[in-house]
Amino acid sequence: MAWYTNAVFYELYPRAFADGNGDGWGDFAGILERLDYLEWLGVDCIWITPIYPSPLKDDGYDISSYYGIHPNYGTIEEFRLVVDEVHRRGMRIIPDLVMNHTSDQHPWFRIARQSRQSRLRDYYVWSDTPSRYADARIIFLDTETSNWALDPVSQQYYWHRFYSSQPDLNYDSPAVQQAMLDVIKYWLDLGVDGFRVDAVPYLFEREGTNCENLPETHEYCKRIRRFMDDHYPGTILLAEANQWPRDTLPYFGNGDEFHMNFHFPLMPRLYMALARQDRTSIVDILAETPEIPPGCQWGTFLRNHDELTLEMVTPEEREFMWNTYAPEPRMRLNLGIRRRLAPLMNNDRRKILLMYSMLFTLPGTPVLYYGDQIGMGDNIHLPDRNGVRTPMQWDSGPNAGFSSAPSYQLYAPVIDDEVYGYRRVNVAAQKADPDSLLNRIRHMIHVRKQQPALAEGKLHWVEDAPLSTLVFWRTSPDQNLLILHNLADVTVRLSLPPTMPALAIDILTGEQITTSEPLTLPPYAFRWLASATGA
Ligand code: NOJ
């Protein structure tokens, strides 16, 4: 089995994780001190969001040099040390690769915009009118009114799918294609284990299309994959392609494009099913999810550093999600919800754990977001997506143990309210409490990784279970697991399928279960059952 098929990923936001040099910003020195925590938690692979030089107009997703490190995070030598220390602990690390666009401060763009004859002009996409590619949607709806911005220097428009300070690279240029392969080579030579590739669908543009998922984009991604397979076996590509399942499938190619793809449409439906106390939305989206080629894997998640995107739901579903989970306008952003998991669950521990149970037992490799494993809150008074990127809460000491700087110097205030504040919600306190959210999640991670059926097993619904439950089998050649979730706030009694052996064991608690009798599931409870005789 490929390593990423049975793995737990952790999204680490370097600015927010740990400050080692006391300047109020997270950095590599801080990460080094906290790697033991990630190992203890059971993390196999760290996805680290952009670490490169950047004016930080989009928190590092606006890169001004692909070959360096943002000085706030440290140096390239320190990053190399992080990579080595990650490997020494048996973990892996994949940085973000932002291929689609650069910062407008990148030397390529500075040169390109100097004149229409500039030698790097064709590194970017230019037009005399802002009317080309009219069918491409605007992604940052709350801030941008067009995908074109007028460059005052050369008096032409340049194309940008995100902020106007992030001009899109022109992948029709062979030089750009080669330049990005060079970047990839540089980081792989440094020892990283692959990349989380940002904004994949938008690499190419073609008139008369929505400029997403074009055949040329797939071709170029396959080229990258070939290069990695030939020279860096064992490294992976994880795509951020926020698309419907039918459009995401091609990113796996025939097992020759991305190893992993995030399953964007599943994510909001986990929240929807819980709010509606009805599994239908989950079942339907997985029915729409095609089989993926061997050696490929979905990346599944509950939250990440962006807004909880509602792009891959119907308009009615979006209204429902907004009304339920983001009643205040400032909780919303673009087509999404800018809140963290615990507040979305009203800090109801049963619901938080239930969400994690679904994440750990449905198909896919789970990707955790820093802070959510202790139930961190958010700060909706901070702009953009910053409210879900506040300092990691390590302990109840000054600045939550994140930094020794004076509080006013922190890049953002720590969460300090009654419910989610760091004095109550922190790693140290939860590590010491065997029944804490953190320890419960850690336990689930460790149990999950022992079950081949959860990594690569087939999924079969138990269809006659009530709609307010999510009950399914995960079956692999040598293991059958029966997974039960109660999505409702009332106790349910479930008859177990006749195929279940007479004696089962709950692999999370070790409890033995006589399967001839109905099983009682309290509100929001879940069980992971295996045959007690090992079949
Ligand atoms: C997706 C990233 O997750 C997001 O944070 C960023 O703003 C856009 N891509 C643009 O790079």
Q: Indicate if the pLDDT at residue 534 is higher than 80.
A: no
- The per-residue pLDDT for 535 is 54
Return all residues near 499 (Cβ < 8 A) that are at least 6 apart: none
- The per-residue pLDDT for 465 is 97
**407-436 per-position pLDDT tens digit:** 999 999 999 999 999 999 999 999 999 999
**251-287 per-position pLDDT tens digit:** 999 999 999 999 999 999 999 999 999 999 999 999 9
CA dihedral of 89, 90, 96, 99, whole degrees rounded to 10: 140
Does 307 sit in the ligand 1 pocket, CB within 6 Å? no
Strand, coil or helix: 399: helix
Average pLDDT over all residues of the chain: 97
Mean pLDDT value across residues 305-327: 98
Q: Mutate which of 13, 100, 140, 198 to test ligand 1's pocket (most atoms within 8 Å of Cβ)?
A: 198
Q: Based on the residue annotation, tell me whether 517 is a catalytic residue of this protein.
A: no
Fill in the amino acid letter for 458: K
Mean pLDDT value across residues 398-412: 98
Q: Which two structure tokens, joined as six digits, stand for 31?
A: 């990460």
- The per-residue pLDDT for 381 is 97
Q: pTM for the complete prediction? A: 0.98
Q: Based on the residue annotation, tell me whether 240 is a catalytic residue of this protein.
A: yes
Q: For ligand 1, what atom is nearest to the CA of residue 306?
A: 5
Does 98 sit in the ligand 1 pocket, CB within 6 Å? yes
CA of 236 to the centre of ligand 1 (A): 20
**482-495 per-position pLDDT tens digit:** 999 999 999 999 99
CA–CA separation, 72 and 106 (whole Å):
18
CA of 98 to the centre of ligand 1 (A): 8
Nearest CA, atom 2, ligand 1: 198
Instruction: State phi, psi for 363 to the nearest 5 degrees.
Output: -60, 145
- The per-residue pLDDT for 80 is 98
Q: For ligand 1, what atom is nearest to the CA of residue 100?
A: 11
Mean pLDDT value across residues 69-77: 98
Q: Which two structure tokens, joined as six digits, stand for 59?
A: 């928190």
CA of 60 to the centre of ligand 1 (A): 9
Does 312 sit in the ligand 1 pocket, CB within 6 Å? no
Q: For ligand 1, what atom is nearest to the CA of residue 62?
A: 11
Return all residues near 316 (Cβ < 8 A) that are at least 6 apart: none
CA–CA separation, 115 and 130 (whole Å):
18
Long-range CB pairs of 199-202, under 8 A, 24+ apart, other chains included: 199/98, 199/99, 199/100, 199/101, 199/161, 199/162, 199/240, 200/99, 200/100, 200/239, 200/240, 200/241, 200/251, 200/258, 201/241, 201/242, 201/243, 201/247, 202/100, 202/161, 202/168
Q: How far is CA 275 from CA 229, 271, 347, 524, in A?
A: 43, 6, 14, 11
- The per-residue pLDDT for 434 is 98
CA–CA separation, 313 and 381 (whole Å):
26
Q: Mutate which of 47, 52, 56, 61 to test ligand 1's pocket (most atoms within 8 Å of Cβ)?
A: 61
Fill in the amino acid letter for 368: L
| % of the chain with per-residue pLDDT over 70 | 100
**159-216 per-position pLDDT tens digit:** 999 999 999 999 999 999 999 999 999 999 999 999 999 999 999 999 999 999 999 9
Nearest CA, atom 3, ligand 1: 306
Nearest CA, atom 4, ligand 1: 306
Candidates 151, 198, 378, 456; catalytic one: 198
Half-sphere exposure of 425 (CA within 13 A, CB side): 24
Residue 472, H or E segment? strand 469-476
Mean pLDDT value across residues 340-363: 98
Does 58 sit in the ligand 1 pocket, CB within 6 Å? yes
- The per-residue pLDDT for 532 is 80
Q: Indicate if the pLDDT at residue 498 is higher than 80.
A: yes
Does 301 sit in the ligand 1 pocket, CB within 6 Å? no
CA–CA separation, 106 and 123 (whole Å):
11
| % of the chain with per-residue pLDDT over 90 | 99
Name the pLDDT band for 399 (thresholds 50, 70, 90): very high
Candidates 193, 240, 278, 456; catalytic one: 240
CA of 58 to the centre of ligand 1 (A): 7
Name the pLDDT band for 533 (thresholds 50, 70, 90): confident
Q: Indicate if the pLDDT at residue 22 is higher than 90.
A: yes
CA of 534 to the centre of ligand 1 (A): 45
Residue 198, H or E segment? strand 194-198
- The per-residue pLDDT for 478 is 87
Does 47 sit in the ligand 1 pocket, CB within 6 Å? no
- The per-residue pLDDT for 15 is 98
Q: For ligand 1, what atom is nearest to the CA of residue 385?
A: 5
Q: Indicate if the pLDDT at residue 452 is higher than 90.
A: yes
